[in-house]
Amino acid sequence: MDSLRTYREKRDFRVTSEPSGAGRARHRKAGARFVIHKHDATRLHYDLRLEHDGVLWSWAVTRGPSLDPSEKRLAVHVEDHPLDYASFEGVIPKGQYGAGAVIVWDDGEWIPESDPVAAVKKGHLSFELKGNKLNGAWHLVRLRARPKEKRDNWLLIKSDDSFAERKGDILEDAPESVKSGATIEEVGEGKKKPRQRAARKAPAKKARAKKAKTKKHRSASLKFIPPCLARLEQTPPVGDDWLHEVKFDGYRMQALISGDDVRLLTRTGLDWTERFGAAIPAELRELDCDSAIVDGEIMVLDSKGVSNFAELQLALTENRTEKFLFYAFDLLQLVGADLRKEPLLDRKERLRDLFAGTDEQATVRFSEHFDESGKTMLQHACRMGLEGVISKRAAAPYRSGRTGDWIKSKCTLRQEFVITGYLPSEKTGRGLRSLVVGYREDGKLKPAGHVGTGFSTPVADDLLKRMKKLKTETSPYEGAAAREKRVVWIKPELVAEIEFRTWTRDGNIRHASFQGLREDKPADEVVMEKPGPKTKAAKAKPAAKDKAPTAGAKAKPAEVKAGTIVLSSPDKKLWPDEGVTKKDLLDYYVTVWPRMEPFFVNRPLALVRAPGGIDGQRFFQKHALPGTPKSVLRMNDPEDNEELLYVESFEGVAALVQLGVVEIHIWGSKTKDIEKPDQIVFDLDPDEGLGFDDVRKAALEVRAHLDDLGLPNLVKTTGGKGLHVVVPLKPKADWATVKTFSHDFAQAMAQQQPDRYTSTLSKKARKGRIFIDYLRNGKGATAVAPYSSRARKGATMAMPITWEMVEDGVNPADYAIGSKGLATRLKAKDPWADFYARGKALDIK
């Protein structure tokens, strides 16, 4: 039967420019292309299309996809579309089926977790998307048909993985086509590209002139010198002719010292002396010189001893001047002598001598450089949570501007943006949902997207007060960005420091976080910072090296060594309420390592990190980030070339602790045989109204059914409210076979006792039941590793136990770091000692 028959019957191809599908393409492989069309028909909606067997399976998603796992979007299963519809973009004429504008909102590759035909037939299709806007794991779940219901209704649900986002709206943040860059409105009007208007004159000059009334110092003897600026590159330069310093996260400041007269000037020459209190000028007056011009940075250190721009902003807002520190890194003039033509290393030697009388805890400090390669320095900086590294030519003079003598390399992407508007919050009690930001290019403002995190309530309130004073009816942008709905536009005068993960292909920033306002930089100077080509090592005579100091020229933190890993901040409390520190976690892994090692090494990992403790920000990591230690190894999946992380020794575990990893999740296969799983995991996840006794009884029933099938089985606590029943396998069957078996097993139990169990993911199906989660048995899915800690109250961990303990009423809360229950369990016989010896091939007939 021709699956495109319905599609063709609905359309007159003499009128519409939609493809007829007459030249039907050959099927390449299951789960090749996907596309999402944004379709402005009778009602605006989004069409999800998945390639399979030479056609595009299609669902009309009425409200569009959401990155929030709690948002379930209705998706109506509609007729198959031809493959060449994937690139269709245009206007369907009036009178035709689906009349209206269509754009390619997203496209890429989709990968089903199991046989897609069987999954659709059963009503639960799980898959991964690798697109320009949508990524990670997704689910299509069929709804039970109502009486006389003709539509085939499904739900589109985002999995709770590293690509999930609970703030912001991807539909609003990225409305344009990934094919043409046009919006749905522009295509509807017949304009493929945004119209170009005459550039608006930036109104920032008046504001700067007004600010300039705050006194600007122009002493007859000491004049402001425009600073040397760093050029952004992806990696630090190599060679002995470079020295490397910490990149501070503060305000660049030039100190002009003339006897008792001390002025602190911003990078543009504004006098901010009074803003930072009396302590810094007082200590600069005590330096042993009559006059000097010192280049440096004012910052605030956070609880980890790391410079933090958000903390600096808070200190300025609250007038807490005692928190400010001035780090000096260059000397431009001394007692009337201009030092700018001298080599940097000579200038730093003079600066060091000038600061020789200050101690390490002074408010004014000398900024050391490091006796390490730039690459190693950047790794250390990223590991410590610093912003990055500044590399400087040791023999270069001091030249104003961005000359290439200074190179900056960052751990994360970060730069200034102009605030052009904001979205008010729809939630009661909070006035700010997100900032709209941009940058200048060729004299015009270009949109860079939205920033919806990083501001506390006081900061958000302060921002709103400032922005309301700048409110305007006119957008500073051209084209589609100027027509964004619900935005309150403001004059482009405020500059914000923004940290973000990456630039999208359409020029927006992703995973952006507000760090603070930059009042020291004019809005009309904000441009996109693009890493330049890697700087080659100069052939100049190698400069002498200084003695290596501690990071940031501050007191060295306590250190704990594990192999070649140095554990910084060992007293950092990862579980604050329980008082469990980094060192406690490392000591725990030392104790359990002989038992943990067989289930942990040489397996792809997924990590939950909480560098500030479990009460702070957490994030999920599957791939290497800047600063990831070498003992955390990388490999590429042979099938799709995706980068995977794994470790092969305890040094790797210690490195994870150093990174603030509080949960370790593992694949069910090893790196050397990645397509053949060696275990099956059934995760028993109870509804909120059920107790652990219900889970315990369910685990015993799962064991009984596995015993009937002749399959070995073991059990472990999860560190939460569930249990894992684990089946050791000889790695013979592939992922599809294992996934099919685990699904059928879970479904059979649910069918036998539908009042007690469900094999359906949705929360509605779980009500009063235990979800037998078989989804951890697909390729790329993970389960918490045996003996791993959990990011939960109590500092519990996933603990292998005996079936006798389950029968007797085990309490998972007994197994916590430092508890007597844990000590007793580890003294007893290892219940999983023969795990691999018991493995059996999965023989499905």
Report phi then psi at 391, rounded to 5.
-105, 135
Torsion angle of the four alpha carbons 157, 507, 645, 618, in this order, in degrees rounded to the nearest 10: -60
Q: Catalytic annotation on 582? A: no
Report the C-alpha gap between 258 and 243 in whole angstroms.
Answer: 30
Longest dimension (CA), the chain: 94
How many Cα atoms are found within 13 Å in the side-chain-facing hemisphere of 231?
Answer: 16
Q: How far is CA 607 from CA 622, 654, 783, 815, in A?
A: 6, 14, 11, 21
Q: Are the C-beta atoms of 73 and 63 separated by less than 8 Å?
A: yes
Write out the DSSP string of 122-144: HTEEEEEEEESS-EEEEEEEEPP
Report the C-alpha gap between 65 and 68 in whole angstroms.
Answer: 9
Write out the DSSP string of 158-205: E-SSTT--SSS-HHHH--S-TTT---HHHHHTT-SSPPP-PPPPPTHH
Residues 388, 386, 169, CA angle at the centre, nearest 5°?
90
Active-site entry in 72, 179, 247, 676: 247
Q: Are the C-beta atoms of 838 and 712 separated by less than 8 Å?
A: yes
Q: Classify 32 as helix, strand or coil.
A: coil
Write out the DSSP string of 814-826: G-BTT-HHHHHHH
In angstroms and rounded to an integer, the radius of gyration of the C-alpha atoms of the chain is 30
List all residues 6 or more positions away from 755 whose beta carbon is below 8 Å from its beta carbon: 768, 769
Number of CB atoms found within 10 A of residue 510's CB: 17
Token pair of 706, please? 């596995």
Report the C-alpha gap between 745 and 24 in whole angstroms.
Answer: 39
**Residues acting as catalytic residues:** 247
